[in-house]
Chain A
Amino acid sequence: MNQPLIEIRSAPHVQAAKTVETIMRHVVYSLLPICAFYVFQYGISALASIVVVTAACLLTERFFVRTGTQAGRLSDYSAVITGLLLALTLPPGFSLWMGAVAGIVAIALGKALFGGIGFNVFNPALVGRAFVQAAFPTAIATYTPSFLAGRFTEFIPSSLAWPLMIPADTAAWLKAKNLDALAGATPLAKWKFDGVIANADELLTSLSGHMAVGPAPALILICGLYLAARRFMDWRIPLAILGSAALTAWLLFAFDPVRYPNPFFMLFSGGLILGAVYMATDMATSPVTPKGMWVYGALIGLLTVVIRYYSGLPEGVMYAILIANAASPLIEKITQPVPFGRGALDRARKRATYPLNPGYISREEASAVTPKKRFLPKKPKK
């Protein structure tokens, strides 16, 4: 047995360092500042919501991985992403047991049912959210104002409702704090039902008090830029969504500025930025082809604006993304890349170093037309 063991495997024998785990881990890292800001806005209730929802997702994932019905591993962080994103889309005072239901549904129906990581058709977090939106329509529309005094010591009463019990009335709680119930409406709901348009800087940073908005869009954009720069996320999809939403909103605004809000309000209110950067870019549910990503993003942007303007709901990002998820295989099919050498053959690059044909073909002609030797260096002087 002097012969050493030699392993055989197929080429390539080297691999890039990026794995599924690294991608997912960096997405989690980039979500942490956003979660921290969310907790800063809404205090202890938001923290409890994030923890409970993420734990529900992880436990469900664990169950399905353990029972062997699902591919992947618990340590791939994808369930953490689902949990964090789901918690960020729920109102901070959402009852914790409802959050747990959302988390369980997100993983069980949104992901495990299809076979686990990579096989899901719809974004799991949005599946969970769609479920609780249908199940608890009042609770999910009940926002409390941000930056309440004492938010780090006191739970929003609706958070701590017992399972299957009606949560405490948030409006009465707010009244006791001498706050108007309207202060708890999101900017989109205010616009939709009262025709009030929020200020631009409030929307962008969500730092002004008493306005119920999600996490700061500016912060989400910065985190998204980090992901795009490290190539953990494709930059085309957010760009396509925001571009198409802005374009549609601008066209309508130009058509009737009284009836429609300005495009800036469209972009930075509600969950559009969070959806564009984190939800729509979910790899498994978006097309792989570059052209398809543009189409998919444009579809989401268009649908979001249409749902916001013409439906009974104030927010449209979630359904827009879910519809585009369903359309994604079709989009992918019609946007297959053109292989090298199969496109139009007149695509010779203008900036090429050498002309394709030297301008003289045979050797006889070559001696007739002496070619310029401009690519050769000058003879060294001795």
Chain B
Amino acid sequence: MKLVSYFRGEAFQRGVHPPSCKLTAERKIRRLPFPDRVTVPLLQHIGKAPRPIVRVGQEVVRGQPIARSDEWLSVPHHAPLSGVVEFIGLRPGMRGTWIESIVIRAHRGATQEDLWGQPRDLSQGTGQDILQAIWDTGMVGLGGAAFPTHAKLSVPKQARVHTLVVNGCECEPYLTCDHRIMVEHAADLIAGIRYAMSATGAVRTIIGVEDNKPDAVLVLRQAIADAMAAGVTEEIHVEAVPTKYPQGSEKMLIMALFGAEMPAGGLPIALGMVVSNVGTLAALGKLLPLGQGLTERVVTVTGPGVAKPGDYRVILGTPLKFVLDYAGAPAVDAMDARQVILGGPMMGQAIGSLDVPITKGVSGVLVFRREDMQMREMRQTYPCIKCGECVESCPMGLNPSTLGMLAAKREYDLMGEQYFLGDCFECGCCTYVCPSNIPLVQQFRVAKQILREKAA
């Protein structure tokens, strides 16, 4: 496959080409109505949960901070609705456990303008000022990992960042929210890129977009040209990279753009780079000048089980039931099963309750009907026939076949020490291609968890 990659100029080795199924690529972003009640989980990101700073019964206005923390790896939350804090306690979360959340009941008829934020001018601000401002917005990576953005953009003292890589790949099938943001909010994105460049000290920015989104590439190039005409001096490039899953992984994107392998276990900063998602930067570009907090995000609601698929601007904390009712998921009776996935079909999380709210890291809601799942249910699981498909598709160059057999024998230590289990980022390529229908990724997740618990 190396030879083929070389001639086709493929960006990184191996990987898979799932059908893209981008049903909503042509539809404009629309606003979802405000629900009666929102549930804001305190822990929506990687790191520590902030403390609530409101009490039950307190009136809040949209945009007002409702939870805050002084921990570095933590972000504040802002009220997505003007209303009354109704409840603070455990509510169902997307992982299936109940997590500490703040429930706000909307004031009917109240204006839902964000009245809290104070506009400010950061054009003369230092990197520290901008980082602090980013922290105040409660921004986390909107691509799905939900890593606090201020922590990502802050450069350690001994390191230097010369390049900001903006990830517009959106390699997951079905999802189009980043695509629509690039097309509709290119100016916000450029503004966000400029803030991020000042915060990190980067001297160039390269936006990587998969070549199945040619319109986004054109719009961005035009936006950059316009910005330069308006006096912007930063160096910003847009690059179309060949479509392949999982290009949206930062390692793969850096490989595609610069031809360099990130050292295993390292961060992009080791190469002098910071990688951020387009949705995050576009939101920053919009929120920072207004001094507002993150109260809404764009979510792709799609899948064969949705009547009105589209990219919706959803306020955080909206229950899934409300989103699906609006998007027209067909009414199902009790006997009829369906599957609801938060995120994309390759790495997304299947959820067990429609009371789960939209959080900062949710990029898509995907609904499969019973018919769509039957194909998978009817597939029999075979023993591994050692066909080598997984080895040929693993972007990290691991050997999932052997790893899977070791997992079945519970040789977790061996997996970690000799077969580099820790390098696996659970992209799902091996399971996608496995003709024997072996749940390899799930085995690896379990194995990693066991190794983590052993280490602790």
- B-contacting residues of A (Cβ < 8 Å)? 1-16, 18-20, 22-23, 71-73, 76, 115-119, 234, 283-284, 286-290, 293, 332, 336-343, 345, 347-358, 360-363, 366, 371, 373, 375-380
Q: Is the beta-carbon distance between B203 and A4 smaller than 8 angstroms? A: no
Kindly state the separation between the CA atoms of A338 and B442 in the bound complex, as whole angstroms. Answer: 23
Instruction: Check A11/B206 contact, CB under 8 A, given A71-B382, A358-B163.
Output: no
Asked if B261 contacts A340 (CB within 8 A), the reply is: yes
Contact of A10 among B262, B437, B441 (CB under 8 A): B441
> Shortest distance in angstroms between A13's beta carbon and chain B's nearest beta carbon?
4
B261 touches A376 (CB 8 A): no
Contact A339/B402 with A290-B392, A377-B225 known, Cβ cut-off 8 Å: no
* A-B residue pairs in contact (CB < 8 Å), sample of 24: A6-B353, A11-B343, A11-B345, A11-B350, A12-B346, A16-B435, A22-B435, A71-B382, A287-B386, A288-B386, A289-B391, A290-B392, A337-B398, A337-B399, A339-B396, A340-B262, A347-B261, A352-B257, A356-B258, A360-B162, A362-B201, A371-B203, A376-B228, A376-B237
B336 at interface, CB cutoff 8 A: yes
Segment with Cβ contacts to A, from B34-42, B181-189, B284-292, B372-380: B372-380
B residues near A234, Cβ cutoff 8 Å: 388
Expressed in whole angstroms, the Cα–Cα distance for A371 and B439 within the complex equals: 49
A15 touching B432, Cβ below 8 Å: yes
CB closest residue in chain B, given A328: B386
Considering the chains assembled together, what is the distance between the CA atoms of A20 and B439 in angstroms? 15
**Is B341 a contact partner of A349 (Cβ separation < 8 A)?**
no
**Known pairs A6-B352, A234-B388, A348-B260; A72 contacts B225 (CB<8 A):** no
Contact of A286 among B259, B383, B386, B435 (CB under 8 A): B386
Asked if B345 contacts A357 (CB within 8 A), the reply is: no
With A5-B338, A20-B435, A73-B380 given, is the CB distance from A379 to B225 under 8 Å? yes
Contact of B366 among A4, A13, A340, A348 (CB under 8 A): A13
Residues of chain A with a CB closer than 8 A to B455's CB: none
In Å, the complex CA distance between A19 and B437 comes to 7
Q: Would you give the shortest CB distance from B88 to chain A, in whole angstroms?
A: 25
Contact assessment for A18 and B435 in the assembled complex, using a CB-CB cutoff below 8 Å = yes
Interfacial chain A residues near B265, Cβ < 8 Å: 341
CA distance A101 to B65 in the complex (A): 80
In the complex, what distance in Å separates the CA atom of A332 from the CA atom of B160? 41
Q: A7-B373, A358-B204 are in contact. Are A379 and B348 (CB under 8 A)?
A: no
Q: B344 → chain A, closest Cβ, in Å?
A: 9
What residues of chain A lie closer than 8 Å to B271, measured between beta carbons? Answer: 356
The 4 A-B residue pairs whose C-beta atoms are closest, nearest first, are A349-B259, A352-B259, A12-B428, A118-B383
- A19 touches which of B201, B333, B435, B445 (Cβ 8 Å): B435
B338 and A348 form a contact (CB under 8 A): no
Q: Mark B408-431, 1 if CB is under 8 A from A, else 0.
A: 000000000001100100101001
Say yes or no for B456: interface residue by CB 8 A criterion.
no
Closest to B393 in A: A16
Closest B residue, CB atoms, query A16 = B433
A19 touches B334 (CB 8 A): no
A18 to B388, CA, bound (A): 13
Alpha-carbon separation in the docked complex, A347 to B2 (Å): 14
Interface string of B429-453 (1 = CB under 8 A from A): 0011111110101100100000000
In the assembled complex, the Cα of A360 lies from the Cα of B272 at a distance in Å of 12
Residues of B within 8 A of A (CB): 1, 9, 16, 18-19, 96, 160, 162-163, 173, 201, 203-204, 206, 221-222, 224-225, 228-229, 235-239, 251, 255, 257-266, 271-272, 332-341, 343, 345-354, 366, 368, 373, 376, 379-380, 382-392, 395-399, 401-402, 419-420, 423, 426, 428, 431-437, 439, 441-442, 445
| Residues on A with beta carbons closer than 8 Å to the beta carbon of B352 | 6, 8
Are B203 and A358 interface neighbours, CB within 8 A?
yes
Which of the residues B255, B264, B347, B383 comes within 8 Å of A119, measured between beta carbons?
B383
User: Distance (Å) between the CB of B222 and the closest chain A CB?
Assistant: 7
User: Contact between A341 and B259 (Cβ–Cβ < 8 Å)?
Assistant: no
- A11 and B338 in contact (CB under 8 A), knowing A337-B391, A371-B204? no
User: How many whole Å from B331's CB to the nearest CB in chain A?
Assistant: 8
Query: Contact: A349 with B260, CB < 8 Å?
Result: yes
Contact A3-B264, Cβ < 8 Å, known A14-B345, A286-B386, A360-B203 = no
Give A3 to B340 CA distance when docked, in angstroms.
Answer: 13
Closest chain A CB from B287 CB (angstroms): 25
Interface of A is mostly: loop
A350 and B259 in contact, given A4-B334, A72-B383, A118-B383 (Cβ under 8 angstroms): yes
CB distance from B263 to the nearest CB of A (A): 5
Distance in angstroms between the alpha carbons of A6 and B430 in the assembled complex: 25
Q: A residues within 8 A CB of B390?
A: 288
Contact assessment for B272 and A357 in the assembled complex, using a CB-CB cutoff below 8 Å: yes
Chain B residues, CB < 8 A from A362: 160, 201, 203
| Contact between chains at A6 and B354 (CB < 8 Å) | yes
Contact among A13, A349, A350, A378 with B339 in the assembled complex (CB-CB below 8 Å):
A13
* A219→B428 CA distance, assembly (Å): 38
Q: A340-B396, A354-B258, A361-B160 are in contact. Are A15 and B173 (CB under 8 A)?
A: no
User: Closest CB of chain A to B354's CB: distance in Å?
Assistant: 7
B376 touches A15 (CB 8 A): yes
For the A-B complex with A8-B350, A283-B387, A356-B258 known, give 11 more contacts whose Cβ atoms are closer than 8 Å: A5-B338, A8-B351, A13-B368, A18-B433, A116-B383, A287-B386, A289-B391, A337-B391, A339-B397, A353-B257, A375-B237
Considering the complex, give the chain B residue whose CB is closest to the CB of A342: B264
Q: Given A288-B399, A357-B272, is A10 in contact with B445 using a C-beta cutoff of 8 Å?
A: yes
* Contact across chains for A361 and B162 when beta carbons are under 8 A apart: yes
Determine if A4 and B338 form an interchain contact, defined as CB atoms under 8 angstroms apart.
yes
Residues of A within 8 A of B436 (CB): 19-20, 118
Residues of chain A with a CB closer than 8 A to B337's CB: 4-7
Residue numbers in B under 8 Å from A353 (CB-CB): 239, 257-259
Complex alpha-carbon distance, A366 and B198, angstroms: 13
Residues of A within 8 A of B385 (CB): 20, 23, 117-118, 283-284
Chain B residue with the shortest CB-CB distance to A345: B263
Is B332 touching A4 in the complex (CB atoms < 8 A)?
Answer: yes
A280 to B251, CA, bound (A): 36
Q: Once the chains are docked, how many angstroms separate the CA of A20 from the CA of B434?
A: 9
